[in-house]
Amino acid sequence: MAQLYYKYGTMNSGKSFEIIKVAHNYEEQGKPVILFTPAIDDRAGKEWIGSRSGMSRKAIPVDEQTDLYEYVKSFQPEPGLKNVYCVLVDEAQFLKQRHILQLTRVVDELGIPVMAFGLKNDFQNRLFEGSYYLLIYADKIEEIKTICWYCDRKATMVIRFRDGVPVNEGEQIQIGGNEDYKPVCRRCYHKAFEPKVE
């Protein structure tokens, strides 16, 4: 039975690496997959998923007008291959509510499993729109773990930096890498914003 999976983790937890690995495993067995990535995230280039390990993979960019259900429903695999075996979504936190509902239709009406990978909370510890609705609608939720940048605890949050200084104000969405964000545990997150004693 097809299900909607939500696999979340902080920055640097290997989400993009995992999605590329899953796609490879399906395709090595001759089972076509569809990969989606939000158009807003162009760090690896438009239409690409890139991991910090250096691996990358072409994907379908998702913007405001993209209908994920209709795309999957009308997808034609290469000659000789059966229909889609799995739909994979990178950076799913950037999706809108309607995109998540379209993914539920892919699972429920087309019988195709969907694995969505992404962040859960932003640098202010608020849920992204996509992660909020994935937490509501996913059949299975799994955390991809990593360790804090500053200690050996599990990272559950992320700190945004501006010119090397931690900040907790600004727009929710700001695309960036290790120079802009670091995964941290709750203790180190709060410690970063304590007043400095001279």
The model's pLDDT over 33-87, given as tens digits with 9 standing for 90+, comes to 999 998 876 655 567 676 666 676 788 899 989 999 999 999 876 666 678 999 9
Asked if residue 41 belongs to a domain, the reply is yes
Contact partners, residue 74, CB within 8 Å, separation at least 6: none
pLDDT at 164: 81
Q: Is the pLDDT of residue 151 over 90?
A: yes
Query: What total of structural domains would you count in the chain?
Result: 1
Active site residue 91: yes
Q: Which two tokens stand for residue 108?
A: 């429920």
Helix (H, G, I), strand (E, B) or coil at 166: strand
Let me know if residue 188 belongs to a domain. no
The answer to whether residue 160 sits within a structural domain is: no
Per annotation, catalytic residue among 91, 109, 169, 194 = 91
Beta bridge partners of 22: none
d(CA 147, CA 158): 11
pLDDT score of 163: 82
> Tens digits of per-residue pLDDT, 112-139?
999 999 999 998 999 999 999 999 999 9
pLDDT at 2: 95
Question: What is the dihedral angle through the alpha carbons of 38, 52, 54, 7, rounded to the nearest 10 degrees?
Answer: -60
pLDDT of residue 176 exceeding 60, the answer is: no
Which three-class secondary structure state does DSSP give residue 68? helix
The average pLDDT across 11-28 equals 87
153 domain-assigned? no
Range of the domain at 84: 4-145
Q: Is residue 180 situated within a structural domain?
A: no
Percent of the chain whose pLDDT exceeds 70: 84
**Residue 172, in any domain of the structure:** no
pTM of the complete model: 0.86
CATH of the domain at 134: 3.40.50.300
Residue 131 near residue 8, CB atoms below 8 Å = yes
Q: What is the mean pLDDT of the chain?
A: 87
- The verdict on residue 162 lying in a domain is no
The verdict on residue 28 lying in a domain is yes
